[in-house]
Amino acid sequence: MTEPTPDMTGKPRVDYGEHTWLELRELAQRDDLVCVIPAATLEDHGYHLPIDTDVRLVEAITRGAVERFNAHGEAKALLCPTQVHGYTPHHLDFPGSVTLRWNVFVESLLDQGRSLIHHGFDRILIVNGHGSNIPLVNMAARLLNVEHREAVCASSFYLTSEESMGVLQRHRTSGPGGMAHACELETSLYLAIRPDLVQMDRAVTEIPASYTPHVFMDWSDGPLSLMPHWSAITTSGVTGDAAAGTAEKGRIWLEQAQKEIAEFIGEVATRPHAPGVDHH
């Protein structure tokens, strides 16, 4: 079977774009190869975190997951370039945020998927790191499956499996609402990845006063979906307990997130093609 060829350090190359077209033609022969597309957005993350938080976190998680998966499994995965821009019009009150229109975001993912499938890479996992992208990445993966019946296209957030939620719960020190945005979790992860870019002396705790048992954000949100403009619910841009973030917690959660996504890759690599039957 075709293996991704090593880079200068002898490690297998995992980046899709670092291969030649001849190499990709070979790799596409493998039925078990998974293309992983990270998706994120640029938006305000409090006074203390850069606007690239969702991008940097999902890239660190997916890169670690792909390397981990390739080191242990028979199947292989390639890391596609990150879909940096996502859907975040409700953050535009905060300088720096960049949004795509929802349909442009979905179409962008669809065209990337269609191109990959055209070349024979019909196992695709979109790993999303930005809350408001969730329904849109799910829709993009579903539409690819509808268009290409042989394809196995899936989408996920990170740290959402039952096991991961348990690891979050075991180590978190914040109360309800402490893990939503630029929060204990995102601050900790950024501290684990690039501490020099985190201004911890400016980290605040801000939990919106408008939360009710039905409408709230934590790493899993309340049952009633209602998203106003971000500036209506937070002054700093933080929703959560940023001050509770530590690099130590971040390292634990980063490792768990990479392990979780590696398992998701394994699932996408091994699920049977399920084209269904047209009963006409």
Binding site for Zn ion (CB under 5 A): 53-54
What residues pair up with 125 in beta bridges, in sequence order? Answer: 36, 154
Minimal distance in Å, beta carbon 181 to Zn ion? 5
Q: Least separation, in Å, of the C-beta of 261 and Zn ion?
A: 16
- Estimate the crossing angle of helix 162-171 against helix 247-270, to 10 degrees: 180
How many whole angstroms separate alpha carbon 174 and alpha carbon 160? 18
Q: Which residues pair with 39 in a beta bridge?
A: 83, 128
Nearer to Zn ion, 43 or 122 (CB): 43
Nearer to Zn ion, 133 or 258 (CB): 133
Q: What angle do CA 217, 221, 223 make, to 5 degrees?
A: 125
Q: Which CB sits closer to Zn ion, 44 or 122?
A: 44
Are 205 and 240 contacting, i.e. CB atoms less than 8 angstroms apart? yes
Of the pair 35, 58, the CB lying nearest Zn ion is at 58
Nearer to Zn ion, 53 or 155 (CB): 53
**Beta carbon of residue 98, minimum distance to Zn ion (angstroms, whole number):** 14
Residues with Cβ within 8 Å of residue 251, at least 6 apart in sequence: 192
Category of 112 on φ-ψ map: left (φ > 0), alpha (ψ -120 to 50) or beta:
alpha
Shortest CB 132 distance to Zn ion, Å: 10
Give me the least distance between CB of 66 and Zn ion, in Å please.
Answer: 21
